[in-house]
Amino acid sequence: MSPVDRVEPLLKQALAPVDPPEDLSTRVMHKLQSISDSAAEELEGWELAAMRNPRNWARPAAALVGGTAAGAGLVLLRMHQRHRRRPAAHDD
């Protein structure tokens, strides 16, 4: 068997599809929810008087960005899950 003949089976083995763990979606949703909750707690702790100084804006800004990104991720995951659960509509 020549080296060229051995390449195709190796490529098929290396590029075989891999299914993600079944609980991956749940773990990601829990992590995103945790990030979103932490961001909300961080923002709740800040007082408006402290916001007058621009040097104090970094942590609330990071919490706002992180919370927004996590919330958007949660929305997208939930929409994807609903779409997968819904039976496919057939156009006749």
pLDDT tens per residue, range 33-83:
999 999 888 888 777 777 777 888 888 888 899 999 999 999 998 888 888
**Could you state, in order of their start, the residue ranges of all structural domains in the chain?**
25-85
pLDDT-based confidence at residue 92 (cuts at 50, 70, 90): very low
More confidently predicted of 47 and 88: 47
Position 15, amino acid: L
Single pTM value for the model: 0.63
pLDDT in tens, 18-47: 888 888 888 999 999 999 999 888 888 777
